[in-house]
Structure 1
């Protein structure tokens, strides 16, 4: 089940909220645990067992770590953390990467069964959340949950279950036991959710049709202009798809009394690649920084070791996104760029006009999205060569002009909406005008989004595969 579906909007969510608010406080977590599992099992009931195993594994690992630390048995605590991490990573590898490894080895003549595995939805997100819990207990950064139900509710919390933001237990522990509910908080949640829904349905879905049309073109019809038009469309689709879903998660959390951290902060206004990654998928960057980059030594090491650390972190970041070698290449691409910026390029950029810094960043980010989006290596090669002037179809053709003129209004709207401009203009309105206009704007967003979902057959969610 996805948030941008009629079943979720008009069946699942109303029932969840109604029962939640008429239920006594002590029973709200158990109710959430039940509906969380229903939400996840809607698409893949068989993998509920896998999720429950992960929950039980890390919950008891946390208890063992806590007790070992209390007795001064640091070795036992480290063993418990290591076993938890090992089992979690083994599960993630088997379900997400085994087929990739097997098919790669088969290409070298080594016959390995693939098992025809399907990827459990959201496994990359919830695995990262659960396996760091024993680590935080070991560090003394988190306390034990009240019970297994409380921890299970945290792991399975449906607003952020399948697409994040990635939340650490220590960030939500207090809210799992004690959280406030108010009409103002609920209204704020409805507002954020509706904005996210409109971003996903009205912007991402519509601009995604342009990307799909260009991606489907035969290689000999791909032009320079078409390749750039396509990757611009994909960059906007991906941003509004994922940030819209993150906004909906934050909004749903507020409706239930939770506060989640922001996951996007207008990344396309960045002036460097380093800044871009401070603004894009913030929770993922925070996770890798805290649990991989800093334990490797962070930036308090020699320059060669620093660059090696960055190389490892970005290789892991890339492959986290999917079981395909293009994601590893994409991660290493950013590793090289960020290493160069830390070495000398960042200082040079600061001396250039802001407009040049923006162009530099957007150019490199758009190239990265071509690597990210096109998994087939031969097609990726054609696409990248086309972006750099070696297109089989030449500079442009009538099809590109047709796509450009047809989608121009949507491109302009999406481009403007990806910047803080609309938010800044909205904040400058008089308070009375905002109070009068806000309900109308939100109702319009909900009505138009619903109308689209009623008629549409195109409603992908890009981060389901991650």
Structure 2
């Protein structure tokens, strides 16, 4: 079950919010835990036991780390706490590694061994990827590391920890909410009318972004990326790249908006996850704005422990590339994802080496450069093979030609043209610009009319059974 399905919009969420309002404060966490596990069960019944194991395992290990963290003088972290942290990291990473990467690893072992005349030296293991595993495993790691560092105190309540770990708004598609982000609200919280209004606004905007924009782009992006390379040409390659560039932004940011909105309606303030990344004027700036909680996670739990920028210039570049290789792998078990991570890491290293952001290069030129890097990166990210990605890139820069009988009219429709225009416009802070120029009464009237219209239009599209893919099954 996904946030944009009619089952969630018209049944699950309203029933949950009514029950959440009616039950007393003592029972709200029980309701959240029960509803969240049921929500996960509806989406991935077989994977539910993995989520429950992650909840119980991380709770127990975190409790023990906290208990053994300090020795008698209170100044040193004990060896037992370090051992327990290693056990916790192994527990989380082995779960992620098995379910997400064992097939990838066994396939590549056989490919390598085949080069030496020994094909199929190990059986290829095919495992169904549990829903949202990358998100809740990273949550577990951050919790254990923060307890070990003393940043937070481990909770002694399995109910509170289970509520945090399973909280359905952010369970399957982010943002990656750390325990310390909502620790103060987990035991008890109040919900005031302003939070409800803000939450409804964010949710409806996200719902409309997903259904009216992202799903419209998805039809064209999926159609073009599924074409054989021999049937692509300059126009279709660019249309596919543009459609996917807007699809992944509006899809991912929409889920983040809906998650943040639902969190507000429940009394939680989740961290922001996107800040108009397509207005960036460098790749470093892009990663300050794109999937902010993931960037922050890799910074705090990988880049800094590796030494960050304290290891000299060469060491810093190596650390950056290592982080982006892992960022690519986090998105999926494929060499194209690794290459996408390296693509971004390479340009960040170049920008750091040349100090590009402080060279006085005009912002429009830096924006064009950044957007080009991002768009070509998305081609690599979306393509199933390197051959397909490189062929599409070559068409886009005019190094290859394709058949002339495939014209844009075959894929372009008035609805797509309108969506592309609106999507390109809303990739910049136009909404904020317009809102700031309206009086309070005008904002209220425009908001009520606009949100109502968006909800009705998006609901009609959902009820019509329109195509609505869920991107995060690969993550």
TM-score, length-scaled by structure 2: 0.95
Aligned pair 1:141/2:151, yes or no? yes
User: Counterpart in 2 of 1:35?
Assistant: 35
- Structure 1 gaps, min length 5: none
Equivalent in the alignment of 1:102: 106
CA contact (8 A) 2:173 2:256 kept: yes
Q: Does 2:286 correspond to 1:276? A: yes
Query: Paired residue for 2:319?
Result: 309
Q: Report the counterpart of residue 457 of structure 1 in structure 2.
A: 466
Give the CA deviation at 1:167: 1.1
Aligned to 1:399: 407
**Shift in Å, 1:345:** 5.0
1:52-105: CA deviation from partner (whole Å, max 9, x where unpaired) = 111111111111111112444610000000000011101100000011111122
In the alignment, which of 247, 250, 255 is matched to residue 265 of structure 2?
255
Counting only pairs closer than 5 Å after superposition, residues 82-97 of structure 1 correspond to structure 2 as 82-97=86-101
- The superposition leaves residues 142-201 of structure 1 with CA deviations (integer Å, 9 ceiling, x where unpaired) of 112240010011000000000110011111111101322111111110010000000000
In structure 2, relative to structure 1, the CA distance for the partners of 1:91 and 1:222 (3 Å cut) is same
- Residues 303-345 of structure 1 show CA distances to partners (whole Å, capped at 9, x for unaligned) of 1111111111111001000011100000011111000000005
Runs (4+) off by over 3 Å: 70-73, 401-406
Give the corresponding residue for 2:58: 58
Measured after TM superposition, the shift of residue 255 of structure 1 is 0.6
Matched with 1:23 is 23
In the comparison of the two structures, how many residue pairs are matched?
464
Could you tell me which residue of structure 2 aligns to residue 377 of structure 1?
Answer: 386
Assess if the C-alpha contact under 8 Å between 1:416 and 1:422 holds in 2: no
Aligned ranges 1:154-165 → 2 under 5 Å: 154-165=164-175
Instruction: Please say if residues 169 and 260 of structure 2, whose CA atoms lie closer than 8 Å, have aligned partners that are also in contact.
Output: yes
Contact 2:232/2:406 (CA < 8 Å) preserved in 1?
no
Q: Supply the distance in 2 between the matched residues of 1:412 and 1:18 (Cα, whole angstroms).
A: 38
Does the Cα contact within 8 Å between 1:222 and 1:391 map onto a contact in 2?
no
- 1: CA distance, partners of 2:429 / 2:211: 20
CA-CA distance at 1:403 after TM superposition = 3.2
Query: Helix, strand or coil for the counterpart of 2:305?
Result: coil
Q: Distance in 1 between matches of 2:122 and 2:362?
A: 54
Q: For structure 1, which segment, 6-15 or 456-465, has the greater mean C-alpha deviation from structure 2 after superposition?
A: 456-465
Match status 1:318 vs 2:328: yes
Separation in structure 1 between the aligned mates of residue 406 and residue 27 of structure 2, nearest angstrom: 62
2-side partners of 1:69 and 1:237: how far apart? Answer: 45
1:410 is matched with 419
Q: Secondary structure of 2:315's partner?
A: helix
Aligned-residue Cα RMSD (Å) equals 1.5
Asked whether the 8 Å contact 2:256–2:273 carries over to 1, the reply is: yes
Q: Deviations over 1:338-368 (max 9, x none)?
A: 00000005146x4121111110100111110
What SS class does the counterpart of residue 466 from structure 2 fall into?
coil
Q: Secondary structure at the match of 1:195?
A: helix
Q: Matches of residues 53-452 of structure 1 in structure 2 within 5 Å? A: 53-72=53-72, 74-107=78-111, 108=114, 109-344=119-354, 346-347=356-357, 350-393=359-402, 399-404=407-412, 406=414, 407-452=416-461
* TM-score normalised per structure 1: 0.96
Q: Which deviations, in whole Å up to 9, do the C-alpha atoms of 1:108-157 show, x marking residues without a partner? A: 32432233211001000000001221211111101122400100110000
Q: CA deviation at 1:402?
A: 4.5
Contact 2:236 2:406 in 1 (8 A): no
Deviates more, 1:358-367 or 1:109-118: 109-118
State the shift of 1:401 in Å: 4.3
Q: What stretches of structure 2 of length at least 5 have no aligned partner?
A: none
The alpha-carbon deviation at position 390 of structure 1 amounts to 2.9
Whole-angstrom distance in 2 between the partners of 1:390 and 1:118: 39
Contact 1:145 1:173 (C-alpha < 8 Å) held by counterparts? no
Contact 2:199 2:265 in 1 (8 A): yes
Worse-superposed segment, 314-323 or 52-61: 52-61
- Matched position secondary structure for 2:384: coil
Deviations 1:418-440 (A, max 9, x none): 11012211221121111112111
Do the aligned residues in 2 keep the contact of 1:143 with 1:170 (CA within 8 Å)?
no
